[in-house]
Amino acid sequence: MTETTNIELKYFKTIGHEYQWFILYEFAVSDKVLFDKSDKEILKEIISSKILNKSLYHNEMDGIEIELKGLGEAPRRPFEFDKIETSNFQFIESKTDFQNWVSRFRTKGWEDDREDAQILIDRAEKELWSRTNLKNGLWHLTKENFEDNSDKLIEIHWIYLHFETFIEIDRANSMIRTFDFGYD
């Protein structure tokens, strides 16, 4: 499955505000057998694939105006995906559970940038709800769950105050949707 010929970036949206950013991707997967597997088996297959790897930049973005300048060089996910296991992900079962997560996310750890974060989160939510209703649930991987010296984090992990990666497995549309919140 992890062969790039089976995976196509169909949609992406970048949103940035000051030092916070949000990136949403939708990947069509032509390997229909993948969607017959359990969520955890799918996660295991997409870890370190084009869908879920360190780089947030994809060649399909070439020549397209994107809101985050310099995306080709950075940002990068702060995870060592060859050491990440499915047990490092937390399952968020419903849209309501995700909205509760967003409510908590809005209020903690923003230091002096809280107002800017609220603007970004509002814009990100609007984009997200225009693309999905999250009826499939979400898998969540957060930098916050690892110690600073964890071998599951790459060296630049310290640059991010927050880094949140979400994965939605959309079997009905043969699609994997990912989105990331970052704050550096």
Low-confidence winner among 46-50, 55-59, 139-143, 150-154 (lowest mean pLDDT): 55-59
Whether the full predicted model's pTM is greater than 0.75, yes or no, is yes
Residue 131 contacts residue 26 (beta carbons within 8 Å): yes
pLDDT value at position 158? 63
Report the pLDDT averaged over residues 34-40: 95
pLDDT at 4 over 70: no
Level-2 CATH architecture, domain 4-183: 3-Layer(aba) Sandwich (3.40)
What is the model's pLDDT at position 48? Answer: 77
User: Can you give the pLDDT at residue 74?
Assistant: 61
* pLDDT higher than threshold 80 for residue 163: yes
Give the pLDDT of residue 175.
Answer: 95
Query: Residue 90: CB partners within 8 Å, gap ≥ 6?
Result: 139, 140, 141, 142, 145
Report domain extents, the chain. 4-183
Residue 103 main-chain phi, psi, to 5 deg: -60, -45
pLDDT at 3 (0 to 100): 56
Percent share of the chain, pLDDT over 70: 86
- pLDDT score at 65: 66
Give the confidence band of 179 by pLDDT, cuts at 50, 70, 90. very high
Place of tokens 């964890």: 150
pLDDT tens sequence across 74-113: 668 889 999 999 999 999 999 999 999 998 888 776 666 7
What is residue 108's predicted lDDT score, i.e. its pLDDT?
75
Mean pLDDT of 33-54: 91
